[in-house]
A and B are shown apart, each in its own frame.
Chain A
Amino acid sequence: MAKPKVAFYWNASCGGCEEAVIDLAEDLLKVADAVDIVLWPVALDFKKKDVENLKDNEIVASFINGAVRTEEQKEMAELLRAKSQLVFAFGSCAHEGCIPGLANFTNREGIFERVYKTTESTKNPEGIFPKVKTKVPEGELTLPEFFDTVYTLDQTVEVDYYIPGCAPPPDIIMNAFTALLEGNLPEKGSVLSPNIALCDECDRNESKPEKLEIPEFNRVHQIEIDPEKCFLAQGIICMGISTRSGCGQRCINVNMPCRGCFGPLDGVKDFGLRTMAGIASIFALENEENLSEEDLSKLMDKLVDPAGLFYMYSLPSSILRRKRMEEK
């Protein structure tokens, strides 16, 4: 019997998700034995036309990492969708937009202006910017269109499963591969990691006070962090309260608070707002009843860049999706 065909593709991401596949180590050999890889640009020399030559649905599963921010990425996502029975959004960028999604605080013009003009190391007196079409003596050169907005994979094509994380850890990836090969995949639309909050499995959970109250926000560089104690109890915002578990506490173990790369639990519509609601509820001030709304408002200013913090990994998948660019 022919081995099931699978494809890996890389859209707007850092490459960490490709590394994550390599991090399967010996298990990667088992996967490679069990499947026939038909596309994996970072590792194997297949081309777009090889995929185009396949029949529709001939690929059993495509694992697509990265957000979608160019015409080329959209085209590849659509091509792989047409040729695949199942599409997996692989990693936080494809799942929720992740760090590339922070570009939704600006737009193409803002990004081009910064990258090609105003960075301290750029010298571009002629104001040359990338163009979709450029005429040169030899003919016309083309570049894919760069979108104003970064999209998640499921805002571009239909997605069947989500493998969360920045990047997904090997056990989560291997569980997904095993479930695929053994035909044990859950209901379509599922996120393939446990539907419990990271807090619930955190080693520091026991040090969390029964009634959690943060009198002030500390940032990680402002205090010496106790490596045994709950971050929230130390006044450091940790998003483990609302973030899906399965990461193996990678950040917590190196004494950094959770920033939410595994995304929300099932049923949460807006991860950033849900997390903000939780953090706001434990921000308890002494004598709050004696504070005016203005006093309280000033204290809230001490939480630097709330939108950037709570939407660090999920701005494109939030209700607003992006900063409004129209004139007020």
Chain B
Amino acid sequence: MDNPTTNSAKITTFCCNWSVKPGLRLSNLSTDEEDKIIVTMCTGRVGPELVMQAFEYGAWGVLICACPLGECKHDANYKTLRRVLLLKRMLSQLNIEPERVRIEWIDTGEVAKLQNAVNGFYDAIEKLGPIK
């Protein structure tokens, strides 16, 4: 397992295509495949199985960037929130830090907020280290 002190936290970020992707393109965040920023058509499609598969593939933390509540055309971000809240409870019961999953609300064009969200999550996960 990687040494958590080597500044190499592995995070996977799922971004909504409609609210987050425009900001992502304007940001200085890398969308290279190895940087694991994945754009989905709607965060409603980011089910708990997908989140856990990211952990299975070695992620230390998973960030979901969704439309602000009330702004998703499908109201799916409420579903995502409920699923994330339940997943965090299940993770706690299984002795995995629930902080390893985070949901952030990002509006179109909120470039700085997106960058801060990704960087802030990276820092938080780096402190936690990998799942042993």
Question: Chain B at the A interface: mostly helix, strand, loop or mixed?
Answer: helix
Cβ–Cβ contact B86 & A303, under 8 A: yes
Chain A residue contacts of B28, Cβ below 8 A: none
Cβ–Cβ contact B83 & A270, under 8 A: no
Q: Does B39 contact A (CB under 8 A)?
A: no
Chain A 284-328, CB-CB to B under 8 Å as 1, else 0, gives 000011000100110011010111101000000001101111101
- A272, A281, A303, A305, most chain B CB atoms within 10 A: A281
Closest to A283 in B: B82
Closest to B105 in A: A293
A213 and B85 alpha carbons, distance in the complex (Å): 18
Q: Does B90 contact A (CB under 8 A)?
A: yes
Chain B residue contacts of A270, Cβ below 8 A: 48-49, 52
Chain B residue contacts of A306, Cβ below 8 A: 86, 89-90, 93
Cβ–Cβ contact B52 & A300, under 8 A: no
Cβ–Cβ contact A300 & B86, under 8 A: yes
Q: Does B35 contact A (CB under 8 A)?
A: no
Closest to A301 in B: B89
Q: Does B131 contact A (CB under 8 A)?
A: yes
Chain B 89-103, CB-CB to A under 8 Å as 1, else 0, gives 110011111000000
A301 and B49 alpha carbons, distance in the complex (Å): 21
Chain B residue contacts of A301, Cβ below 8 A: 89
Chain A residue contacts of B70, Cβ below 8 A: 289
Given contacts A306-B90, A326-B132, A297 and B49 within 8 Å (CB-CB): no
Chain A 213-229, CB-CB to B under 8 Å as 1, else 0, gives 00000000000000000
Cβ–Cβ contact A273 & B52, under 8 A: yes
In the complex, which of the residues A277, A293, A324 contacts B131, with contact meaning CB atoms closer than 8 Å?
A: A324
Q: Does B56 contact A (CB under 8 A)?
A: yes
Q: Does B53 contact A (CB under 8 A)?
A: yes
Please classify how large the interface on chain A is, using the bins under 10, 10 to 19, 20 to 34, 35 or more: 20 to 34
Chain B residue contacts of A281, Cβ below 8 A: 79, 82-83
Chain A residue contacts of B132, Cβ below 8 A: 324, 326
A279 and B48 alpha carbons, distance in the complex (Å): 12
A301 and B96 alpha carbons, distance in the complex (Å): 18
Q: Does B29 contact A (CB under 8 A)?
A: no
- Least Cβ distance of A265 to chain B in Å? 13
Given contacts A269-B53, A296-B85, A276 and B48 within 8 Å (CB-CB): yes
Q: What are 27 A-B contacts defined by CB distance under 8 Å?
A: A105-B93, A105-B94, A273-B47, A276-B86, A276-B87, A276-B90, A280-B82, A280-B83, A281-B82, A296-B81, A296-B82, A300-B82, A300-B85, A300-B86, A300-B89, A303-B89, A305-B93, A306-B86, A306-B89, A310-B90, A319-B49, A319-B53, A319-B55, A322-B94, A324-B132, A325-B95, A328-B97
Closest 8 CB pairs of A and B: A307-B93, A280-B82, A273-B48, A324-B95, A307-B90, A280-B83, A319-B52, A277-B47
Chain B residues packing against A (C-beta within 8 Å): 47-49, 52-53, 55-56, 69-70, 78-79, 81-83, 85-87, 89-90, 93-97, 131-132
